[in-house]
């Protein structure tokens, strides 16, 4: 299959990919950009990278025998320092700087095209770990009520509308009222916002978090994911449960995520589109 470069951001997915490569004997390197802390990195082989010097990164990947690349975890949009550009970045800069002012999906498609133009194959994380996408059904002891199902349908429609303009992948709805929308800050920040919302503004229904991919999203680059922390934050926000699109969202550490749902009395439902 060739060596795999894992461009690592926040969260557990990069670790799971690195451990899978190590267990299968596949050559790999974890690409660590400046400012990204990876507490799990330990003994994993890594390549330090700078946003301003993609030419150096491409050369290091080739020297290490990497033929493919996968992207995993959240990365903040970089503050680019033009004085540090290498020759490759000078060539890419006009196109790249325009791209990072777009939505996340458009930006990631551009990044994928750049890596492919350099001869690297882009692999989807879910193809490497096919057990992660959520299978249909309710995975928890708690079950969604009819009201919860209606809120999930409303939230799914909202996420589809947001996704059409490349904004976010999640929303919180309670009693038909939207309490939060995901934007650049991410799902956990949205849940914190909902938790801090004045109770007088909230309907009697507890509400649900819904998460799903954008309609035309490049899932090789950005496949939505939840984990135990998502359930813990949903509980802090006073929600009844978490809903994901079946097959369209990864559940990281499934056993721990289901356990977190059960411990908090929340339902975890993978809803078919």
Where in the chain are the domains? 3-128, 137-271
Distances (CA, A) of 69 to 37, 52, 56, 89, 207: 20, 19, 16, 19, 38
pLDDT digits (tens, 9 = 90+) for 105-158: 777 888 899 999 999 999 999 999 999 999 999 999 999 999 999 999 999 999
pLDDT band at 103 (very low <50, low <70, confident <90, very high): low
**What pTM was computed for the model?**
0.86
CA 3 to chain centre: 23
Residue 187 pairs in a beta bridge with: none
Domain at 137-271, CATH class: alpha beta
pLDDT band at 100 (very low <50, low <70, confident <90, very high): low
**How is residue 144 annotated by DSSP?**
-
Q: Is 3.40.50.20 the CATH classification of the domain at 3-128?
A: yes
Question: Is residue 266 pLDDT above 80, yes or no?
Answer: yes
């Amino acid at each position: 299959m060739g060596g795999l470069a894992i461009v690592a951001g926040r969260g557990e997915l990069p670790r799971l990919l690195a451990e899978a490569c190590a267990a299968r004997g596949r050559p790999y390197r974890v690409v660590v950009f400046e400012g990204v802390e990876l507490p799990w990195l330990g003994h994993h082989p890594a390549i330090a990278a700078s946003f301003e010097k993609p030419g150096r990164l491409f050369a290091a990947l080739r020297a290490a025998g990497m033929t493919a690349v996968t992207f995993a975890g959240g990365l903040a949009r970089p503050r680019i320092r033009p004085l540090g550009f290498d020759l490759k970045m000078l060539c890419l800069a006009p196109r790249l700087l325009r791209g990072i002012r777009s939505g996340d999906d458009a930006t990631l498609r551009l990044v994928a095209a750049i890596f492919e133009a350099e001869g690297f194959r882009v692999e989807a994380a879910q193809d490497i770990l096919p057990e992660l996408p959520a299978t249909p059904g309710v995975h928890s002891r708690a079950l969604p009520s009819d009201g919860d199902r209606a809120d999930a349908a409303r939230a799914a429609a909202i996420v589809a509308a947001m996704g059409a303009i490349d904004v976010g992948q999640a929303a919180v709805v309670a009693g038909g009222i939207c309490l939060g929308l995901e934007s650049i800050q991410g799902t956990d920040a949205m849940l914190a916002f909902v938790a801090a919302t004045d109770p007088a503004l909230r309907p009697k229904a507890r509400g649900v978090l819904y998460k799903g991919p954008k309609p035309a999203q490049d899932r090789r680059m950005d496949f939505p994911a939840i984990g135990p922390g998502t359930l813990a934050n949903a509980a802090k926000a006073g929600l009844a449960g978490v809903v994901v699109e079946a097959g369209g969202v990864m559940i990281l550490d499934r056993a721990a995520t289901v356990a977190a749902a059960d411990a908090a009395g929340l339902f975890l439902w993978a809803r078919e589109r």
